[in-house]
Amino acid sequence: MESPHKKKKSAPKRKWEVFPGRNKFFCNGRIMMARQTGVFYLTLVLILVTSGLFFAFDCPYLSEKITPAIPAIGGILFFFVMGTLLRTSFSDPGVLPRATPDEAADLERQIDIANGSSSGGYRPPPRTKEVIINGQTVKLKYCFTCKIFRPPRASHCSLCDNCVERFDHHCPWVGNCVGKRNYRFFYMFILSLSFLTVFIFAFVITHVILRSQQTGFLNALKDTVVCFFSVWSIVGLSGFHTYLISSNQTTNEDIKGSWSNKRGKENYNPYSYGNIFTNCCAALCGPLSPRGPVPL
């Protein structure tokens, strides 16, 4: 018989409960977000308020005078925008697992042997490896936090404290990093949001014009809520990411000028497939990698 004084074994913790990064988890680890989510809630409020005002003040008049299809199309766009936003915000962007203590120690020994040094105690200088990708030399940087050589196109996010595969950027508007596993949803979010804002703005102006014929332009402005939610900035952002997808680049690579012609004619992008259509298909329709280091 077991002794009554025998200590009970504590239940093993799930990986997300001991995750070393600066992320927040909800729904038993199924939802993963950055720690700073205030701007994300602002994004939700702006979309909800703008769309709500349009449906409440403009759609009844437009549905009666033009066609009931206007609120129907607007509703479809609204739900698509919200779905892609939440999918981007709540998903793992492609976090790379950190090295275990044994793996980190073994890698440190290999580096010391390669450098001809075995003394420790101080942080060593930045270390790199070189690999050849489609004839182009690409450097792999060592991450002192995760204790790994980062794969090509990966980068360490200082806000979330994670290495993210195919890191694009950290977006406070969606409350998460944008990387390999959620970039397509981020792109669909900003693209659909562009369509929604242009759609709302166009029909609000239509409402103003129709009302002005009856009550005058100034009275029409008083009776109509003009929902203009940063149309040009959203459309411009969509255009920028369309350019990135068509050339198979990330925001991080574009800002750094990693494949700029100024560095030389031989400094081409080794990840590009050579044509716009294939690059777009690879970014938007390619297979998603399995979820990273925080499964249930």
CA distance 69 to 128: 58
Provide the strand spans (E) within 40-172. 128-133, 136-143, 148-149, 155-157, 162-164, 169-171
Q: Which of 171, 227, 280, 285 is catalytic?
A: 171
Record the tokens describing residue 164, joined without a space. 């993210």
DSSP-based three-state secondary structure for 130: strand
Known catalytic residue: 143? no
**6, 286 in Cβ contact below 8 A?**
no
Instruction: Name the DSSP class of 56.
Output: I
Record the tokens describing residue 210, joined without a space. 């129709």
**127, 108 in Cβ contact below 8 A?**
no
How many CB atoms are closer than 10 A to CB 113? Answer: 10
- Helix ranges (DSSP H) in 116-250: 183-215, 217-223, 231-247
Q: Which residues are catalytic?
A: 171
